[in-house]
Homo-oligomer: A and B are copies of this chain.
Amino acid sequence: MTLVVQKFGGTSVADSERIRAVAEHVARTKREGTEVVVVVSAMGKSTDDLIRLAGEVSSAPPPREYDMLVSVGERVSASLLCMALADFDVPAASFTGSQAGIITTTEHTRARIIEIRGDRLREALSQGKVPVVAGFQGMSTDREVTTLGRGASDTTAVALAAALGASLCEIYTDVTGVFSADPRVVPTARRLPRISFDEMLEMSATGGRVLMLRSVEFARRHRVKLHVRSSFTWEPGTVVTEEEPDMEQAVVTAVTHDTSEAKVTVSGVLDRPGVAGRLFRALADRSINVDMIVQNISSHGTTDISFTLPRVDLSTAVDVCGGLAGELGASGVSSDDTIGRVSVVGAGMKSHPGVTASMFETLAAEDINIEMISTSTIRISCVVAEEDVERAVRALHSAFGLEEPTR
């Protein structure tokens, strides 16, 4: 019998009515002869309420207790879904991360899955039950409750699909799939019926918010086919899968954007070996995740280094750079938190070298200035002023012909 993992996000189980709708869908899937393992997120914003309480009782909640607290939301939705399934005559059993055998590292609030001991889930399946697993959590090698970071219920689902040998991992959410651009910015954006892991990775990394980067990486590594779809309309969504040799490759598949970053420029840095390493080591030591890095051509023995990073880390980064200015011989540190990044992604780019030129021409025609550029084999990103981002996305979406054909 085919086994499918179905993961339902917070909006899909936001209230009792939605939970019953999910139960009905799981019952339907089972009736059609498919074995199902379910993974659920916490209901709606319930985890936010818990985090608010934590902030009220403590100025610095210990991570172990934080995990104990915030992991209850998924447990609530898992047990409620099992109750609803029972009401539809589908035998089910809820499992905490620990009961599901999800063994993690000991780093609270951002543990990583080491191993999945799926015995209890397999036993439940063999008894004809639907196991419903609380997402986002596990048990550490120290037997403590851990969580895997926000949005990590997707990772739980993909990891279970890999461990149990499921043929498919369905990610149910409040959108109907992955789009050629954010439909709020580009009304003519098209749902992509099928994309490759590499494309999905680049999209997740550059602002496509549908799937968390980590879960896509995990799916690619373990070759778990994903299907992103809506729990409101239940229509087919986007299948994320390995690139097939005969797959028709669009040159550009999607345009993504991200306005959560800021830019720092360190000017007049001495252009000699070790200087950049010194700077980025210092930033890494403060846990700052630097994204794009650009270094200008050296002139008169000095150069400028610019990089982007999450806005929340900007003031720390400016402090770090300022502190190192003397050592680096830098003449100044400037920052800009009104930037945005626009990216075009497409597996077909590998064999179509003209995409970069087209992108620059399109932005130039819109009179949009490009501040930084970064590329991979299947992606080109440009940093532009934040106020130009949406216009840039619309122009690129149109220039690469991504509109819905029949609208």
Which stretch from A76-84, A298-306, A357-365 is at the chain B interface? A76-84
Q: Does A34 contact B (CB under 8 A)?
A: no
**Residue in B19, B62, B99 whose CB lies within 8 Å of A86:** B62
B residues within 8 A CB of A58? 83-84, 86-87
Q: Does A59 contact B (CB under 8 A)?
A: yes
Q: How far is the CB of A214 from chain B (nearest CB, A)?
A: 25
CA distance A81 to B54 in the complex (A): 9
Q: What are 10 inter-chain pairs, A to B, with CB distance below 8 A?
A: A16-B57, A57-B80, A57-B81, A58-B83, A62-B83, A65-B94, A66-B83, A68-B94, A68-B96, A72-B72
CA distance A394 to B56 in the complex (A): 44
> CB distance B72 to A86 under 8 Å?
no
Residues of A within 8 A of B (CB): 16, 19-20, 23, 50, 53-54, 56-62, 64-66, 68-69, 72, 75-76, 78-84, 86-87, 92-94, 96, 99, 143
4 closest A-B pairs by CB: A16-B56, A58-B83, A68-B79, A69-B79
Q: How far is the CB of A16 from chain B (nearest CB, A)?
A: 4
**Residue in B59, B66, B83, B96 whose CB lies within 8 Å of A61:** B83
> CB distance A69 to B59 under 8 Å?
no
**Residue in B57, B82, B87, B94 whose CB lies within 8 Å of A19:** B57
B residues within 8 A CB of A59? 87
B residues within 8 A CB of A87? 57-60
Interface centre among A64, A65, A84 (most CB of B within 10 A): A65
> CB distance B83 to A54 under 8 Å?
yes
CA distance A83 to B54 in the complex (A): 7
> CB distance B69 to A84 under 8 Å?
no
Given contacts A65-B83, A66-B83, 16 further A-B contacts (CB under 8 A): A50-B76, A53-B76, A53-B80, A54-B80, A58-B86, A60-B86, A60-B87, A64-B82, A64-B93, A65-B79, A65-B86, A65-B93, A68-B79, A69-B75, A69-B80, A99-B143
**Residue in B23, B57, B78 whose CB lies within 8 Å of A20:** B57
B residues within 8 A CB of A83? 54, 57-58, 61-62, 65-66, 69
B residues within 8 A CB of A92? 65
Q: How far is the CB of A68 from chain B (nearest CB, A)?
A: 4
B residues within 8 A CB of A82? 62, 64-65, 68
> CB distance A75 to B78 under 8 Å?
no
> CB distance B57 to A84 under 8 Å?
yes
B residues within 8 A CB of A96? 68
CA distance A86 to B68 in the complex (A): 15
CA distance A83 to B92 in the complex (A): 34
CA distance A58 to B94 in the complex (A): 15
CA distance A93 to B64 in the complex (A): 8
> CB distance A75 to B79 under 8 Å?
no
CA distance A23 to B56 in the complex (A): 13
B residues within 8 A CB of A54? 80, 83
B residues within 8 A CB of A76? 50, 53, 69, 72
> CB distance B53 to A16 under 8 Å?
yes
Q: How far is the CB of A138 from chain B (nearest CB, A)?
A: 15
> CB distance A86 to B61 under 8 Å?
yes
Interface centre among A20, A23, A54, A66 (most CB of B within 10 A): A54
B residues within 8 A CB of A57? 16, 19-20, 23, 80-81, 83-84, 87
| Minimal Cβ-Cβ distance residue in B for A81 | B57
| Minimal Cβ-Cβ distance residue in B for A132 | B65
B residues within 8 A CB of A72? 72, 75-76
CA distance A200 to B82 in the complex (A): 41
CA distance A60 to B56 in the complex (A): 36
CA distance A84 to B87 in the complex (A): 40
B residues within 8 A CB of A99? 143
| Minimal Cβ-Cβ distance residue in B for A54 | B83
